[in-house]
Chains A and B, each alone.
Chain A
Amino acid sequence: MSKHQYAMVMDLNKCLGCQTCTIACKKLWTDRDGTGYMYWNNVETRPGLGYPRQWDRIGGGWKDGSLQPSPLPTMDDYGHAWEYNYEQRLYEGKKQPVMPSPEPKSGVNWDEDVGGMNEDENYFFYLPRICNHCTHPACLEACPRKAIYKRDEDGIVVIDQERCQGYRYCIKACPYKKIYFNEVMGKSEKCIFCYPRLEKGQVNACAAQCPGRLRFVGLLDDPESPVHKLVLVHKIALPLFPEKGTQPNVFYVPPFNPPKRENYGKSIQEDPRVPLDYLIYLFGPEVKDVIVRLESELRKTQEGGRSEALQLLIGRDAETRYRVRPQLVQIQL
């Protein structure tokens, strides 16, 4: 266990699927050789294939104390990074239209807005994903090189690029498939929770750029932090696939509102827009209790009262949403 643990809460009711977080991350961290196909932060449509395809169904994580590595996803599962022939069209006078190459066949949100059917009605929502910086990281355990470690001061999980030899056991072990192999460098890479930004008192790039203001960042063990309040006090945010056993430190407020028909006075549990079974699949059975809690908070405000939990979820300003503690950093010379 690390001394402290940074965590993130994402309110799925507010995600627009605009991918601004994805681009913020990409421009900052994965604009290098070999990183074209990788998105340390991605937003995928749910229900859907995900990125890489079927990552949630192929394995990984822990079972009865043993690692359960999955097969390695292939490049087709991630989607090859494509480029456009702008030079030919714009500068070399070629007449052909601007085309991507190689021909795109899958990608980071390939089945955008397809979703699923809830009886007679289509439904979908967006699921932004980063590394979960787990309390019991399967990737860390799987690495025979001991190249992956969890920072003692803030619980961020990172790969030592000096020690990494690109064996990819970590990718197989991660149940969220949030480690990517850079074949050009021969090393594996992952989300670093923007620790260089946090150390300077800046919040993660994905959170800072989010127009939906759906991300909350802070230390889980800091009673003043919004993540502590949402996860441990109000108990309205849950990790993804808790049964994988890694204890993620990214939590989600499940999409619960509005009901499928009518939008006032009716319980979402009576007529859910997103089938409860699907939410249970993603967040475990506890999601039912979370929805009951969220609904009672909503009722409170509809009856003229005040809900601290919903006020916090509105997240009006950066001070409400983030509590970054640069002073935590132990400088090791």
Chain B
Amino acid sequence: MKTRPLLIVVSAVSLLSSMIWAQAGTKPAAGQALSAATSSTSADNLLHAGSAAWGPIAVKHIALNRTPPLYDTDEAATLEISTVDVRLARVGGKLLVQLIWRDPTHDAVTLAEVPNTAPETRFRKVPTEADDRFFDAAAVMFPEKSGINAMAPSLQMGDTEHPVEIYYWNSTRGAMLMQAQGRSTTKRTGRTFPVSATYQNGQWSVNLELPDLPAGTPVAFAVWNGSQKDRDGRKYFSVWQVLE
């Protein structure tokens, strides 16, 4: 508890530095370049969990920042996951993204399946087993209007001028495509996308299939750690990276 003010300052500084990026209409600086390999293998092969096809593709270690606690009484937001390793591959008009990060706690469950009949027609209803668990998750965010020299939207889920698309994966609830135009405007589109995920030896490896994005598109990454009660803005995030 004693270290809380320091942590808040550290987190706030990292947040502030990213806020410079967060201003709408700024261009990400050089050094945040993110190259995407052109792969000769199939998208399906790359999407497959544990695929060896990622082997030759260069890894970029991207630093993660931590948002400070939302309320005074929230748990401290300690930096347990400092980087996410990102690989990108362009194949067949798609952009395959592999995210790998170390997380000693595997926060995922298989929720009971709801029968395909109305609850009122059934004697037994699917119960809520727990109300206090949160799950590991990851996301890739990019502007809806992408392209060369595209201005980076606000890092806080875009802004009204620059809506963003968020490809979100949750270890328990799966993949969902979201859209947002500013903080607290995130909405589910009801659409999903292909994803595969494995957890082995204290490490998540998640492969996501995105539509191909032109060079110059700003892309940002986020990771949630369930054991740290991460959800919403309580998460790990990267600053904007520019796709080459």
Q: Known contacts being A32-B125, A36-B128, A81-B127, is A183 close to B72, with CB within 8 Å?
A: no
Residues of B within 8 A of A83 (CB): 124
Chain B contacts with A in 37-83, Cβ cutoff 8 A: 70-74
* B120, chain A: closest CB distance, angstroms: 7
Q: Is there contact, CB below 8 Å, between A33 and B119?
A: yes
- Binary CB contact string for chain B from 169 to 208 against chain A (1 if under 8 A, 0 otherwise): 0000100000000011011000000000000000000000
Q: Which residues of A line the B interface, CB within 8 A?
A: 31-38, 59, 66-70, 72-75, 78, 80-81, 83, 142, 144-146, 162-163, 165-169, 171, 180-184, 186
Q: Report how far A226 CA is from B124 CA in the complex, Å.
A: 40
Q: Known contacts being A34-B127, A37-B128, is A66 close to B173, with CB within 8 Å?
A: no
Q: Report how far A33 CA is from B116 CA in the complex, Å.
A: 12
Q: Is there contact, CB below 8 Å, between A31 and B73?
A: no
* A42, chain B: closest CB distance, angstroms: 16
Q: Which of B130, B187, B233 contacts A144 (CB 8 A)?
A: B233
Q: Report how far A165 CA is from B168 CA in the complex, Å.
A: 13
Q: Which of A35, A68, A183 contacts B129 (CB 8 A)?
A: A183
26 A-B residue pairs with CB within 8 Å: A31-B119, A31-B125, A33-B125, A33-B126, A34-B126, A36-B125, A37-B127, A59-B73, A68-B71, A72-B131, A73-B132, A74-B130, A75-B128, A78-B131, A80-B127, A81-B127, A142-B71, A144-B70, A144-B183, A146-B184, A162-B187, A166-B231, A168-B131, A168-B231, A169-B232, A183-B133
Q: Is there contact, CB below 8 Å, between B130 and A183?
A: yes
Q: Is there contact, CB below 8 Å, between A184 and B120?
A: no
Residues of B within 8 A of A74 (CB): 130-132
Q: Is there contact, CB below 8 Å, between B232 and A167?
A: yes
Number of A-B contacts (CB under 8 A): 94
Q: Is there contact, CB below 8 Å, between A75 and B130?
A: yes
Q: Is there contact, CB below 8 Å, between B131 and A73?
A: yes
* B127, chain A: closest CB distance, angstroms: 5
Q: Is there contact, CB below 8 Å, between A75 and B173?
A: no
Residues of A within 8 A of B74 (CB): 69
B16 interface hit (Cβ, 8 Å): no
Residues of A within 8 A of B127 (CB): 34, 36-37, 80-81, 184
Q: Report how far A72 CA is from B132 CA in the complex, Å.
A: 6
B111 interface hit (Cβ, 8 Å): yes
B112 interface hit (Cβ, 8 Å): yes
Q: A36-B125, A168-B131 are in contact. List 13 more A-B contacts (CB 8 A).
A: A33-B125, A34-B127, A36-B127, A37-B128, A69-B74, A75-B130, A83-B124, A144-B184, A168-B132, A169-B232, A183-B111, A183-B128, A186-B173
* B173, chain A: closest CB distance, angstroms: 6
Q: Which of B114, B124, B132 contacts A184 (CB 8 A)?
A: B114
Q: Report how far A142 CA is from B129 CA in the complex, Å.
A: 25
Q: Which of A31, A33, A69, A181 contacts B131 (CB 8 A)?
A: A181
- Listed from nearest, the 8 A-B pairs whose CB atoms lie closest are A33-B126, A181-B131, A183-B128, A72-B132, A32-B119, A34-B128, A36-B127, A167-B232
* A264, chain B: closest CB distance, angstroms: 49
Residues of A within 8 A of B112 (CB): 184
